[in-house]
Amino acid sequence: MNILVKNESYSIGIDVGGSRVKAAIVAPDGTLIGQVIEKSRVVDPYPAARDQLISIVEGLISTSSTRPTSVGIGVAGLMDVSNRIVLAAPNCPGVVGVPLADDIEKLLGLPVEIENDANVMALGEGASGAARGSRHYVAVTLGTGVGGAIITDGKLFRGSTGGGSEIGHICIDPNGPRCGCGSNGCLEAFIGLKGISVWLRRNANHMKNLHLPRISEMAMEGDPDAIKLFEWVGTTLGVALAGVINLLNPDTIVVGGGTASAGPMLFDPLREEIARRAFKVYQTKLRIVPATLGNWAGVVGAGGLRRS
Ligand SMILES: [Zn+2]
């Protein structure tokens, strides 16, 4: 099985998270039709999630004049790609270890593909977002954790067992703080939400209870501590991404997620750190750009999933 980034016909894209399910018909140019957001039923025992997704797909088909020819599902979890099964998903227990894709395929009579959510987000940005036209790019999502996906030669990189691309778990300090993965000093241990709150407690205690969107507003208004936070996040991310650039030689790096909403406050120090550290020859055509599809990137990318 392989995943193509190209989408040549109408399809249905679904992005399944722990709290919400988003879905839409995806046109060949990446345009979304009939967007749906529902409270997710992935915490309920199976087949609650299967029935919910089938009803969403049937609803989309019945209200549209287009004829979707496939369904793609992105799930926030670790995938067994060859068996099309979710191996682990702390926020979506109701879809772990069950034949979700096979069951929906049988019941709907449409081909169904399933893929990790960070990967479908990256595919979406490649299909019609910030990485459009690129065949070698890296996508990073800065949220509660730090997610990553790699597209190389137009295809999703997925290692020997369906994994890899865990940019958040590159070690940037062997003596750094403990990480959720069991190691310590990972990028995510520093600039995931937990790491950011540690930084705030140490360096700007008066902001420790503020949400990141408010802190990024403050940075844009010129608050020196808020600016310092995003400088530190950008520089820290740049240390890891310079290594990623030297390893993979991408032409584009897309950075999205809540923390990336700080815009230039984050991207300026990020670009500076990369310029200092990465091979100069790899930087001549390199673009470091914010994600453009926001919360719908996963739906666009899931719509482009195809078996080949
Ligand atoms: Zn880690």
Least confident segment among 106-110, 121-125, 140-144, 268-272: 140-144
Percent of the chain with pLDDT over 70: 97
N-terminal to C-terminal alpha carbon distance within the chain: 6
The Cα 18–Cα 43 span in angstroms is 7
Written as one string, the DSSP assignment of 6-33 is ---S-EEEEEE-SSEEEEEEE-TTS-EE
Question: Token match 């950011």: residue?
Answer: 196
Task: Name the pLDDT band for 199 (thresholds 50, 70, 90).
Answer: very high
Instruction: Give me ligand 1 centre to Cα 166, in Å.
Output: 9
Instruction: Give me ligand 1 centre to Cα 125, in Å.
Output: 25
Task: Kindly tell me the burial class for residue 42, based on how many C-beta atoms sit within 10 Å of its own C-beta (0-12, 13-18, 19 or more).
Answer: buried
Pick from 43, 2, 109, 16: which is nearest to 299 by CA?
A: 16
Instruction: Give me ligand 1 centre to Cα 239, in Å.
Output: 16
Instruction: Give me ligand 1 centre to Cα 180, in Å.
Output: 6
Instruction: Give me ligand 1 centre to Cα 120, in Å.
Output: 22
- C-alpha dihedral sign at 133, 134, 140, 142: negative
Instruction: Give me ligand 1 centre to Cα 102, in Å.
Output: 32
Task: Name the pLDDT band for 1 (thresholds 50, 70, 90).
Answer: very low
Task: Note the CATH number of domain 11-123.
Answer: 3.30.420.40
Q: Are 164 and 210 spatial neighbours (Cβ–Cβ below 8 Å)?
A: no
Instruction: Give me ligand 1 centre to Cα 173, in Å.
Output: 11
Q: Which residues pair with 91 in a beta bridge?
A: none
Instruction: Give me ligand 1 centre to Cα 282, in Å.
Output: 27
Topology (CATH level 3) of domain 131-292: Nucleotidyltransferase; domain 5 (3.30.420)
Global pTM?
Answer: 0.88
Ligand 1 being an ion, which residues bring their Cβ within 5 A of it? Answer: 169, 179, 181, 183, 186
Instruction: Give me ligand 1 centre to Cα 144, in Å.
Output: 13
Domain ranges in the chain with CATH number 3.30.420.40 = 11-123, 131-292
Task: Name the pLDDT band for 8 (thresholds 50, 70, 90).
Answer: low
Instruction: Give me ligand 1 centre to Cα 175, in Å.
Output: 13
